[in-house]
Amino acid sequence: MQSNKTLLTSSVLIIVTILITIFLTACGGGSSSSSPAATAAILDTDGDGVGNNIDTDDDGDGVLDVDDAFPLITLGGLTDTDGDGRPNACDAACQAAGMTADTPSSAALQLPTSLVILKTEGE
């Protein structure tokens, strides 16, 4: 018959093993993990080695996801003057990727970046 100390040690080891298994499964480290959190951790749209679940720019186009109209579609070199992730102009390839061009209502107001001061004679 096992002593109480042996039973307690065995119980603690079983509990610790279960907790480690749960933790590894939730973090994507388990061998049979297919939870949504683990799948999201593995998905890396832009191939930068950072999972989309913690990547702030999933498509790697330089526009943060919180500001990006198309966070999973890269601009691919298209001009985006206002930095909203929506290209200024959208050709057939752009549209085929699922994007649309900026419209006057979605484009941000562009303010001048320099100031010109004119002086009159005598000043």
Domain span holding position 60 = 56-105
pLDDT in tens, 22-68: 777 776 654 444 555 555 557 888 889 888 889 999 999 888 999 98
Q: Based on the fold, state whether residues 70 and 98 are members of the same structural domain.
A: yes
Q: Based on the fold, state whether residues 27 and 60 are members of the same structural domain.
A: no
The residue among 18 and 48 whose pLDDT is bigger is 48
Six token digits for residue 115:
């100031």
pTM of the model: 0.49
Six token digits for residue 20:
């480690």
Is the pLDDT at 7 greater than 90, yes or no? Answer: no
The residue among 113 and 109 whose pLDDT is bigger is 113
Distance from C-alpha of 85 to C-alpha of 61, rounded to nearest angstrom: 8
pLDDT at 105: 55
Q: Please identify which residue in the block is written with the tokens 């909203």.
A: 84
pLDDT at 106: 46
User: Phi and psi of 38, rounded to 5°?
Assistant: -70, -40
The residue among 107 and 74 whose pLDDT is bigger is 74
pLDDT band with cut points at 50, 70 and 90 for residue 110: low
Q: Based on the fold, state whether residues 34 and 65 are members of the same structural domain.
A: no
- % pLDDT > 70, the chain: 65
Distance from C-alpha of 119 to C-alpha of 49, rounded to nearest angstrom: 55
Q: Based on the fold, state whether residues 34 and 62 are members of the same structural domain.
A: no
Distance from C-alpha of 7 to C-alpha of 83, rounded to nearest angstrom: 63
Distance from C-alpha of 27 to C-alpha of 37, rounded to nearest angstrom: 7
Q: Based on the fold, state whether residues 5 and 37 are members of the same structural domain.
A: yes
In a domain, 94, yes or no: yes
Q: Domain total for the chain?
A: 2
Burial of 45 (0-12, 13-18, 19+ CB in 10 A): middle
Q: Based on the fold, state whether residues 67 and 96 are members of the same structural domain.
A: yes
